[in-house]
Amino acid sequence: MRLRSSIALCVLAFSFFCLGAAPLAASANGSAGEMPAVYDGQPLVINFKEQPANAEESLLEHNKSINVIYTSEELLPGEQPFVAVIDAIQRDGFNPLWQEVEIHFISEPRQFLSDDEILQAASAGEISLGETDEVYRCSVVNKHP
């Protein structure tokens, strides 16, 4: 299991290196909003655009099926950026609206490969999670970067 996780992390790191990282604040319409992400160990490319500030509160209040995208501003060992983790893809409870949840590392920062790993780490006290009031429109644009 550890070898499979290591291989997946290497593939993810290679994909991230090849694609580059678009910071969340720089997201825009079209390909400028593309960024790497991971879902259940599978590296993906997503298109990511923040919703207007006046709409975010209403979306969070009235749309109970918003997905979660986990992010972190903290760098991983080797000064590598954290690759966002999403909790659904098409045919798995997918909704094109996503609420950002920030990961804050209590122990050594590491890349997670699934939302289940994140929730387990939070339960174990390795990380804390902070919901934001930011909502993004997100779509998977490439399943094999």
| Tens digit of each residue's pLDDT (9 = 90 or more) over 29-67 | 555 678 999 999 999 999 888 888 888 888 788 777 788
- pLDDT (0 to 100) of residue 144: 57
Domain count, the chain: 1
| C-beta of residue 43 within 8 angstroms of C-beta of residue 145 | yes
DSSP code for 83 = P
Dist CA 118 CA 121 (whole Å) = 5
User: Mean pLDDT in each 10-residue stretch from start to end of the chain (145 residues)?
Assistant: 38 42 47 85 90 82 84 96 91 77 96 98 97 86 65
Within 10 angstroms of residue 109's Cβ, the number of other Cβ atoms is: 17
- pLDDT (0 to 100) of residue 143: 63
* CA-to-CA separations, 35 to 15, 18, 38, 54, 62, in angstroms, rounded: 10, 11, 10, 24, 27
DSSP code for 52 = P
Residue ranges making up the domain that contains 111: 2-142
* CA-to-CA separations, 142 to 47, 67, 89, 113, 145, in angstroms, rounded: 9, 18, 11, 17, 6
The pTM of this model reads 0.74
Through-space distance between the first and last CA atoms of the chain, rounded to whole angstroms: 23
| C-beta of residue 89 within 8 angstroms of C-beta of residue 39 | yes
Give me the count of residues in the chain: 145
Q: Report DSSP letters for 55-82, one per residue.
A: HHHHHHHH-TT-EEEEE--SPBGGGBPP
- pLDDT (0 to 100) of residue 54: 82
- pLDDT (0 to 100) of residue 21: 43
